[in-house]
Structure 1
Amino acid sequence: MKEDVLRQIGTIARALDSIANIEFKDLALNRGQYLYLVRISENPDIISDHLARMLSVDRSTAARSIQKLIKHGLIRKESDLENKKIRHLFLTAKGETLADVIEHENRYSNQMALSGLNEKEQLMLKELLQKVENNVSENWLFVKNGGKREY
């Protein structure tokens, strides 16, 4: 049963990711870069390490995506006033415009995915998925930091 749930979650995630990649291709966004724009939009002033953890990717993956987004003029880095080694991320005007388009698509996809569920079912699903996300994120951090899972 548990494997089936994870397969279904994976299928949903891959389908929505594929749709987004196809639809956002015209926006000059490569695979998954739309996630970075939205998270920076939701968390202006975020630093790359926090963004990487939020997206459950390693720092080098985040750094490459951030560099591409900077190169395309979608985000910018600003040095921290107290610690010049810390760089905060912000959207540019062009990035804000794209983030708005992406958020609109996200609302549409959420509405489509949840169609047929009443409010109580939607809330229950959200709460249950939050628990699953917390479990997986905790496990991801454990493994990422060198931990070995015992099967």
Structure 2
Amino acid sequence: MREILREVGMIARALDSISNIEFKEIDLTKGQYLYLVRIHENPGIIQEKLAEMIKVDRTTAARAIQKLELQGLVEKKDDETNKKIKRLYTTDKGAQAYPFLKREGDYSNAVALAGFTEEEEETLFHLLQRVRRNVEVDWEHVKKGNKRDY
């Protein structure tokens, strides 16, 4: 069997490394840009949903969000109906960073898919979605304290 996940991992690490270097100029460190982009694209998202979307545990998400708050890029606001719920929004400073982050993401996407036909891109997208859905089953299972049966 081909080591497909190794290839996916190498791609993800390379792009993450590039982003971490390029985003230093706007004071974003390891992976923070993921949170900022998702919050900007999903205003009012709650921390738990954000963690689920990015596929990290709640503690990791909480730390990253706290750092973004301290940098003035993200703010928490009370939910209008349930004061226990905190909703996440980008600040003006965070919103100003978004176009730069979006351009980088679009550029990386274009570089990664150079030479692909539209049909190949569509096929790859759908195949990767299937892979993600398969992995999500195990992710949910392990996240709940269970072990996978190898």
Distance 1:85 1:99 in 2: 28
Cα deviation for residue 137 of structure 1 reads 1.8
Identity of aligned residues (%): 54
Distance 1:72 1:135 in 2: 36
The equivalent of 2:103 in structure 1 is 104
Distance 2:18 2:96 in 1: 20
Aligned runs of 1:1-150 on 2, under 5 Å? 1-2=1-2, 4-150=3-149
Number of matched residues? 150
- 1:86-126 per-residue CA deviation (whole Å, 9 max, x = no partner) reads 00000011101111110100000000000011000000000
- 1:24-48 per-residue CA deviation (whole Å, 9 max, x = no partner) reads 0111011000000110111100000
For normalisation by structure 2, the TM-score amounts to: 0.98
**Matched residue SS, 1:90:** strand
Runs of 4+ in 1 over 6 A off after TM superposition: none
**Matched residue SS, 1:24:** helix
Amino acid at match of 1:94: K
Cα deviation for residue 136 of structure 1 reads 1.3
RMSD over aligned Cα atoms: 0.8
For normalisation by structure 1, the TM-score amounts to: 0.97
- 1:6-56 per-residue CA deviation (whole Å, 9 max, x = no partner) reads 100000000000000000011101100000011011110000000001111
Cα deviation for residue 138 of structure 1 reads 2.0
